[in-house]
Amino acid sequence: MLREPVRGQTRRARVQLALALVRGGMVVTFLADPVVSGFTTGSAMLIVASQLKHLMGVTYDANGFVMTMVHAAAAVPRINPFTLSIGMAAIGAMHGLKEANKKFLPHTLVPEQLAVVIVFTVLAWALHLGDAPFRVALVGHVDTSLPTVRLPPFCLLTLSLSFPGPGVGVT
């Protein structure tokens, strides 16, 4: 099932396409390191802010960093303590496993994120954390069958990007 595009997505896609066609990515090489560092930090802050509602176990709709932080602050009284505890424990476990890998297994690569996902999935299932009194939001049923085979939606723009003309490169 296809979702309707969110308002502004098509405009962003057009801008990204235009930048790709004129090879706008090379502009980054001319930016000063503090600018790139600031952009990266800002991106990280947006990602963290967008995940706060999942960490706190609350729901709200917010656009932009400031409104997300305002809604997150307003949602503090509604925090699900079980969801917050599990989320913080998972973050701590990932950090602890990362440090343990560095100290005790420097030549062995143990994926700490995968280990934490497996352990916490088993705990959520075994302890019935989705039920009362915990009410931790879980993924729920995951379909085990393969999706039906069908043709992708036809789009002339996608087709033209798949077979660019001579001398036109999209990066």
Do residue 86 and residue 65 come from a single domain? no
> Which residues form the domain of 67?
13-79
User: Of 31, 64, 79, which residue constitutes the final position of a domain?
Assistant: 79
The dihedral built from the CA positions of residue 5, 74, 56 and 137, taken in this order, carries a sign that is negative
pTM of the predicted model as reported, rounded to 2 decimal places: 0.62
Residues 75 and 93 in one domain: no
Position 146 in a domain:
no
165 part of a folded domain: no
Same domain, 56 and 38: yes
Give the C-alpha distances (Å, rounded to integers) separating 18 from 14, 43, 58: 6, 22, 38
- The one-character DSSP state at 5 is P
Contact call for residues 81 and 124 (beta carbons, < 8 A): no
What span, in angstroms and rounded, lies between the C-alpha atoms of 5 and 8?
A: 8
pLDDT tens figures, 100-115: 888 888 777 778 899 9
Dump pLDDT digits (tens) for 123-149. 999 999 988 888 888 887 888 888 888
Residue 73 and residue 17 share a domain = yes
CB 25 within 8 A of CB 170: no
Q: Kindly state whether residues 33 and 22 are assigned to the same domain.
A: yes
Residue 22 lies in a domain: yes
